[in-house]
């Protein structure tokens, strides 16, 4: 067993072998982050109640010594009940595709719950 890897994890596709992303719950690294999930996305994902939605942001791991970034403009929203997920673009927001995560220290990664 390796060391604790929270809050970072891998989001892995069950349909496309080898498709995976390093993600993090945005509140773990961006305290004031808020998103809007439009009706179309809620319907497509089968989200009926707010408690069913889980939000992750995709992390881009940079070359050694560079700061990793998070895509706050296009968070991944998943339905806890069905495991369906989709990227939900935050139209009209000031969020960036590549927001620095901080010190740039290496960040361990585990599987998403």
DSSP for 12-35 reads: E-SSSTT-EEEEE-GGGT-TT---
Asked, for residue 3, whether it belongs to a domain, the answer is: no
Mean pLDDT of 35-55: 95
Q: Which pLDDT belongs to residue 13? A: 87
Question: 94 near 33, Cβ under 8 Å?
Answer: no
* Residue 99 lies inside a defined structural domain of this protein: yes
Lowest pLDDT segment from 57-61, 70-74, 85-89, 99-103: 99-103
> Is residue 17 over pLDDT 50?
yes
Give the count of domains, the chain. Answer: 1
C-alpha–C-alpha distance, residues 61 and 74, integer Å: 16
Range of the domain at 62: 9-108
Does 2 fall in a domain? no
72 — pLDDT class (breaks 50, 70, 90): very high
Q: What is the CATH number of the domain that holds 86?
A: 2.30.290.10
pTM score: 0.82
What distance in Å separates the CA atoms of residue 23 and residue 18, rounded to the nearest whole number? 15
Omega cis (within 30) before 62:
no
């Amino acid at each position: 067993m390796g060391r604790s890897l929270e809050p970072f994890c891998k989001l892995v596709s069950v349909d496309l072998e080898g498709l995976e992303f390093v993600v993090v719950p945005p509140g773990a690294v961006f305290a004031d982050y808020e998103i809007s999930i439009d009706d179309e996305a809620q319907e497509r994902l089968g989200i009926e109640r707010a408690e069913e939605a889980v939000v992750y942001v995709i992390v881009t791991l940079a070359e050694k010594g560079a700061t990793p970034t998070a895509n706050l403009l296009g968070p991944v929203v998943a339905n806890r009940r069905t495991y369906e997920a989709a990227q939900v673009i935050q139209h009209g927001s000031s969020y960036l595709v590549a927001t620095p995560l901080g010190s740039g220290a290496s960040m361990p990664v585990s599987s998403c719950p």
